[in-house]
Amino acid sequence: MSEYELVIGLETHIQLNTVTKIFCACKADSWEMEPNTNICPVCAGLPGVLPVLNEEVLRKGVLLAYAMHSEIRNVSFFDRKNYFYPDLPKGYQITQYDMSLGNGGYMDLFIPEDAGATRRVSITKLHLEEDAGKTKNAGSERLIDFNRCGVPLIEMVTGPDLRSAAEAAQYLTRLRQLLRWLGVSEADMEKGHLRCDANVSIRPVGSTQLFTKTEIKNVNSIENVRSAIELEYERQVREVEAGNRIQAWTLDWDDEKNELKKMRSKETEADYRYFREPDLLPVRLSDEWIQAVLADFPELPLHRKQRFLTDYHLTEYDADLLTTDRQLSEYFESAVKVYGGDPKKIANYLMNDVLRMLNESGKSAADTRLTPQYLADIVKMADAGKINASTAKNLLVKVEASGQAPNEIVAAEGLGQVRDDAAIRAVVEKVIAGNPKEVEAYRAGKESLIGWFTGQVMREMRGKADPKLAQEILKEILGS
């Protein structure tokens, strides 16, 4: 099978996270709303209505186009794509055809299997459009829900540049990260914010020809895109090896059975009779306007990761993890700045403790009550020996829960580390007196018990003792 190479192009639909729909004032997000409760005459396509473009859609479109190295056209147009379908209430979709907002573009992918190599994935289409509604069959009836009509989408299509299921997955992972990073989409595939169709064909290794492709639709997670492409690759290889031709099918991903089903044979290309949408003016974006939108364009994840490697001497793994999410990376940097010490310490606290805490609460780094300042304060206290490591970790939770400053909590709860030799010594003696069996065992050579003894002392002192000092004293007394 290895003599066949996969050729993949991905067609993505990205739901923008604007407050309102693209052409009317209905809310863009109808998640879990009753069917047909988030509609108005405009998005329901009643006779006589007209679309009015939501400027926020243009802003988000410009951000994404810029991030994809796409040329942002100063003048672009909306067009009508005419076809009949019950989820399309006007009988045409307002989209952009030949003069779309973005022209060309690319994304560079790091290929994990091939360390250091990058793959440039070209973008052949980047345009704005309105979403259609949903239909479903219920017995002999067909039900229509128009809530999704008019939700703003960006359709983005890659060239046939991806060469493996892993690369396709990598592209989607990076795209999802980018969309969230830019704040243009929630990019949740399960909720349909990011939808992906994959065009898949195979060819003999070394060939540059493009062979008949199949189109895989309705895949709702990155993992499933990977599995579906792998399955389709195997199927196509089997067909070719059996001497059959690949047919231009459309395949449907069955989420429950994890398999592909043939939806239809692709007939001749439909004629959508595209023409300029006369109800909307040409989209004219001045350079000043575009500059203003891009004024606070963020440093992108891959650049930030690179900078973390050089500026903070993080490991590849750490830098990658800390830049998965824009808020997290910004949190890290602010904490490092206030802290002023070794960035790795902040990184460790973040990755070992703070991230887990955030995952559990479902909060983002931006809305945690444990501010970067508080985190830095805690690490500084631990550095200075004012609190011990376990107190520091508990403090993270307490600050997050209460929103109180860490030094206030330490003062109020008396969590300051006890380094008073006499105080510790008194507790050590109490522990030794209370556990004669263990003392005997230790003295008989079971020195590993020193940890247990330390634990007992720490417990007695509610974790406030300096554990190193406690152990020294224990060793001294037990050894005498």
Partner 1 sequence: MQLCDTPAHELSILLRKKKISAKEIVESCLERVAAVDGRPGSLDPGENSSQDNQSVHAMITLTAEKALAQAKGLDDKVARGEPLGSLAGVPFTVKDIFCVKDTLTTAASRMLANFRAPYTATTVERMLAQDGLMIGKVNLDEYTFGSSNESTAFQPAPRNPWDTNRVPGGSSGGSAASVAAGEAAISLGTDTAGSIRQPAAFCGVVGIKPTYGRVSRYGLIAFASSLDCPGPLARNVTDAAMLLKAIAGPDRQDATAVTKAVPDYVGVLDQGVKGLRIGLSEDYFKIVYMDAETGEMLQKPVPDEVRAAVYHAAEILKAQGAEIIEDVPMPNTRYAIPAFFVISRVEAASNLHRFDGAKYGYRTAQPKRDLREMYQATRNEAFGLQPKLRILMGMYVSAAQYSEQYYSRALKVRTLIRRDFENVFDPGSSYHLDALLTPTTPTTAFEMGAVYGDSVLMQYADQFTVTANHAGIPGMTFPAGLGADGLPLGVQLLGPDFSEPILLRMGRVFEEGTQAEAWRLQKPQVLRGLA
The one among 19, 33, 52, 389 contacting partner 1 by CB under 8 A: 52
Q: Is 99 in the site for partner 1 (CB under 8 A)?
A: no
Binding residue count for partner 1, defined by CB under 8 A: 29
Closer by beta carbon to partner 1, 86 or else 192 = 86
Cα 194 from chain centroid (whole Å): 11
Dig out the tokens for 113 from the structure. 């299997």
By CB under 8 A, name the one of 48, 116, 414, 445 that touches partner 1.
Answer: 48
Residues whose CB is less than 8 angstroms from the CB of residue 21 and which lie 6 or more positions away in sequence, other chains included: 27, 28, 43, 54, 130, 149, 150, 151, 152
Residues in region 420-479 near partner 1 by CB under 8 A: none
91 versus 341: smaller Cβ distance to partner 1: 91
Residue 269 CB, shortest distance to partner 1, in Å, is 9
Select from 19, 31, 37, 46 the one that contacts partner 1 (CB under 8 A). Answer: 46
Binding flag, residue 281, partner 1 (CB under 8 A)? yes
Phi-psi region of 378 (alpha: psi -120 to 50; beta: other; left: phi over 0): alpha
Specify the residue, 19 or 411, whose C-beta has the smaller distance to partner 1: 19
Q: Is 150 a residue that touches partner 1 (CB under 8 A)?
A: no
Q: Is 338 near partner 1 (CB under 8 A)?
A: no
Q: Is 301 an interacting residue with respect to partner 1 (CB under 8 A)? A: no
Q: Is 438 exposed, middle or buried (0-12, 13-18, 19+ CB in 10 A)?
A: middle
215 and 250 in contact (C-beta within 8 Å)?
yes
Residue 300 identity = L
The single residue among 120, 142, 337, 468 that binds partner 1, judged by CB under 8 A, is 142
Angle between helices 406-413 and 372-383 in degrees, nearest 10: 50
Interface residue with partner 1 among 35, 86, 104, 159 (CB under 8 A) is 86
- Cα separation, 108 vs 435, whole angstroms: 64
- Counting other chains too, the contacts that 373-378 makes at CB distance below 8 Å and 24 or more residues apart are 373/334, 373/335, 373/338, 374/399, 374/405, 374/406, 375/335, 375/339, 375/346, 375/349, 375/350, 376/335, 376/336, 376/338, 376/339, 376/340, 376/346, 377/405, 377/406, 377/407, 378/349, 378/406
92 binds partner 1 (CB under 8 A): yes
Q: Which of 271, 287, 296, 367 binds partner 1 (CB under 8 A)?
A: 271
Contact between 44 and partner 1 per CB under 8 A: yes
Q: How far is the CB of 20 from partner 1 (least distance, A)?
A: 13
Q: Which of 69, 122, 124, 144 binds partner 1 (CB under 8 A)?
A: 144
Min CB(130)–partner 1 separation in Å: 14
Comparison of 42 and 346: residue with beta carbon closer to partner 1: 42
Q: Does 143 bind partner 1 (CB under 8 A)?
A: no
Residue 235 host element (H or E): helix 222-241
Report the C-alpha gap between 429 and 448 in whole angstroms.
19
User: CB of 50: closest distance to partner 1 in angstroms?
Assistant: 5
* Consecutive H or E run containing 372: helix 372-383
3-state secondary structure of 321: helix
The stretch among 124-132, 236-244, 248-256, 268-276 that binds partner 1 (CB under 8 A) is 268-276
Q: Which residues bind partner 1 (CB under 8 A)?
A: 41-42, 44-53, 80, 82, 84, 86, 89-92, 142, 144, 271, 273, 275, 278-281
